[in-house]
Structure 1
Amino acid sequence: MQFAGSHILSIAQFERPDVERVFAVADSMEPYAHRRRVTKVLDGAILGAMFFEPSTRTRVSFGSAFNLLGGEVRETTGFEQSAIAKGESLYDTARVLSGYSDVIAMRHPQEGSVAEFAAASRVPVLNGGDGSNEHPTQALLDLYTIRKELSARGRDVDRLRIAMVGDLRFGRTVHSLCKLLCLFQGIQVVLVSPVELRMPGDIVEQLRAAGHDVLESEALESSIRHVDIVYSTRIQEERFSSQQEADLYRGRFRLNQSIYTEHCEPNTVIMHPLPRDSRVTARELDDDLNDNPNLAIFRQTDNGVLVRMALFTLVLDVAEQVHRHARDVNWYTGGRFDGL
């Protein structure tokens, strides 16, 4: 993959060496993401952050990643805050906003919308999620997290055992992660969901065509007994026709400390793309897991900044210049990244 000047729209763009390149650059971003060093390599550059769906982690981590590289961020959030509410096309919006920005991060509720926007953009566009289709940067940060968690145990991603739990039909994070896992070898995947929310068949076939062992199940406890990773997802209520329909599935698969202790191997890592639904009717990951050292959900969010910093430096072709524009920080950082 030629990163410089490229859009990042789909996991289909990546080969395994590309993923390893992103991860190597992400590793080198740690001093800056962990506030030990400051770099101004993107001083003067502008990120256009266009988020037409609610977002906390993705929107803020894209912005933080760009700021940590010395760039500035201009945000548009919600249709009502943009000219799209007045009938402007994605084409016209892309032509205008790409004149104001050096790179754009975009989220949109319609499948294929970010690619449509990118086709008209004059600068690189990074897909922050397009409907129930894909979320490539989330998949990359998820795999980066998996790699780091397994590395601490002397393992690598090949021969990973993973259970994906919850809304696998509409969960774009698991769609992209499955596609990314097709680049690796000997993966065992257990897909745990209600029948109505199963992983799309074409993605299951991609996994099997890559030589992976895939099992579909409706039973949580038996499915998480012999895995390295439990990757839980919330019910994507915004993709359902009504709140009542989403409520039929909410809380169907709950993981708490008692279930973890009884059914999981001692070092099983717990992941979730967040937000986790902490309402009493849901609680796919119970609060009593918060003190479990294998709960990696907040390490995931920290890793998201590293991966997005890496992608910005690669598409803007400054990955080799970052350290030349660096200095030590001059404020108290609190050691909040110690032990990660």
Structure 2
Amino acid sequence: MDFAGSSILSIQQFTRADVERVFSVADMMEPYAHRRKRTKVLDGAILGNMFFEPSTRTRVSFGSAFNLLGGEVRETTGFESSALAKGESLYDTARVLSGYSDVIVMRHPEEGSVAEFAGASRVPVLNGGDGSNEHPSQALLDLYTIQSEMAGRGRGIDKLRIAMVGDLRYGRTVHSLCKLLRLFDNVHVTLVSPSELGMPGEIVEQMRSAGVDVLESEQLESGIAAVDIVYSTRIQEERFSTQEEADMYRGRFRLNQSVYTANCEPNTVIMHPLPRDSREMARELDDDLNDNPNLAIFRQTDNGVLVRMALFALVLDVVDQVDAHASDVAWYTAGRF
């Protein structure tokens, strides 16, 4: 991929070499993300952060990533605070706001909406999630985390064994991650969910056609045995027609320390795209795992800043200029990383 000036809308755009390029640049961003140095390479640039669905991590992570490169962020959150509430089309919104920004990140509840918006935009657009379709930057940060966790065990992504657990039908993070895993060799994926919330058939077939070994199961205990990664997801209640329907599945696959100890290998890494549902009726990833050293969920969120900084640097074509605009950090930064 020629990243400069490109919109990032789908994992389908990426080759393995593209993924490795993103990860290489993400590694370069570590001193800046961890506040050992600062850079003003994007001084004067403006990010339009447009989120029409609730978000904490993705929205703030993209904004922080842009700020850490020296840029400024302008935010629109929710339909009610935009002209879309007055009937304005995505086309018109894109034409207008791309005149105010150098790059735009967008999240929208409708599948394909971000691509539609990007088609009218005059600047690059990064997909922050479109309905239950895709979440490209989340998949990239998830795989970057997997690479980091496996490197600590002397392993790479090839020959990975991963179990994905929970709402696989509506979970856009696992959709994008599955598409990304097709680029690697000898990958084994176990899909654990109620049959009604199984991974869409076309994604399963795409993985198998690419040589991924896929097993579908409704049994949590056997599904999380003999894997390197357990990737848990919450019930995507906002995608169900009624709250009652979502509640039918909530809490069906709970991972806690006792289940982990009884079924997982000692070094199995636990991941989750967050937010995890900590309400009593759910708890798909229990709080009693918080002290487990293999719980990687907060390392994931830290890695999200690195990967999103890398995407901005690549799309705005400043990778080779980041260090030239660097200086020392003057404030207290110890203890966070």
Q: TM-score, normalised by structure 2?
A: 1.00
Where in structure 2 are the equivalents of 1:114-133 lying within 5 Å? 114-133=114-133
Residue of structure 2 in register with 1:78 after alignment: 78
Counterpart position of 1:242: 242
The 5 Å alignment of 1:46-195 reads 46-195=46-195
Q: CA deviation at 1:335?
A: 2.3
- Residue of structure 2 equivalent to 1:293: 293
Deviations 1:145-179 (A, max 9, x none): 00000000000000000000000000000000000
1:326 corresponding residue in structure 2: 326
Give the letter for the 1:275 counterpart. P
Deviation at 1:334, TM superposition (A): 2.3
Pairs aligned (count): 337
Instruction: Give, in whole Å, the separation in 2 of the partners of 1:147 and 1:243.
Output: 37
Q: Could you say what secondary structure the match of 1:234 adopts?
A: coil
* Separation in structure 1 between the aligned mates of residue 324 and residue 23 of structure 2, nearest angstrom: 20
Aligned equivalent of 1:14: 14
Quick one: which amino acid aligns to residue 30 of structure 1?
E
| Secondary structure of the corresponding residue to residue 98 of structure 2 | helix
Residue 315 of structure 1: CA displacement?
Answer: 0.3
Residue of structure 1 in register with 2:35 after alignment: 35
Structure 2 residue 302 is matched with structure 1 residue 314: no
CA–CA separation in structure 2 for the residues paired with 1:212 and 1:310: 28
1:14-38 deviations in Å (ceiling 9; x for gaps) = 0000000000000000000000000
| Secondary structure at 2:330 match in 1 | coil
Task: Tell me the amino acid that sits aligned with residue 276 of structure 1.
Answer: R
Whole-angstrom CA distance in 2 between matches of 1:287 and 1:236: 20
Residue 328 of structure 1 and its aligned partner are, at CA, apart by: 1.3
Q: Distance in 1 between matches of 2:331 and 2:74?
A: 25
1:306, distance to aligned residue in structure 2 (A): 0.2
Q: Amino acid of the residue matched to residue 325 of structure 2?
A: H
Q: Secondary structure at the match of 2:146?
A: helix
Return the alpha-carbon distance in structure 2 between the equivalents of residues 61 and 211 of structure 1: 33
Measure, in 1, the Cα distance between the counterparts of 2:328 and 2:237.
Answer: 44
User: 1:212 deviation in Å?
Assistant: 1.2
> Partner of 2:230 in structure 1?
230
SS in structure 1 opposite 2:189? strand
Q: Indicate the SS of the match to 1:99.
A: coil
Gaps of 5+ in 2: none
Distance 2:335 2:210 in 1: 42
- Residues of 2 paired with 1:262 and 1:214: CA distance? 23
Separation in 1 of the partners of 2:294 and 2:113? 36
Q: In 1, distance between residues paired with 2:57 and 2:171?
A: 16
Find the aligned partners of 2:153 and 2:325 in 1 and give their Cα distance. 35
**How do 1:271-286 residues align onto structure 2 when only pairs under 5 Å count?**
271-286=271-286
Unmatched 5+ stretches in structure 1: none
Q: Distance in 2 between matches of 1:263 and 1:28?
A: 37
Letter in 2 for 1:106: M
Q: 1:208-251 CA distances to partner (integer Å, 9 max, x unpaired)?
A: 01111100000000111100000000000000001000000000
Residue 320 of structure 2 aligns to a residue in which SS?
coil
- Corresponding letter in the other structure for 1:183: L
DSSP-derived class of the 1:100 partner: coil
Q: Give the whole-Å Cα distance in 2 for the aligned partners of 1:309 and 1:31.
A: 12
**Structure 1 letter corresponding to 2:60:** V
Q: For residues 73-128 of structure 1, give each alpha carbon's deviation from its aligned partner in whole angstroms, at most 9, with x where no partner exists.
A: 00000000000000000000000000000000000000000000000000000000
Rounded Cα–Cα distance in structure 1 between residues aligned with 2:264 and 2:98: 48
Cα distance between partner residues in 1 of 2:165 and 2:321: 41
Q: Percent identity among equivalent residues? A: 83
Note the C-alpha offset of 1:278.
0.1
Q: Could you tell me how far apart the structure 2 residues matched to 1:8 and 1:99 are?
A: 19
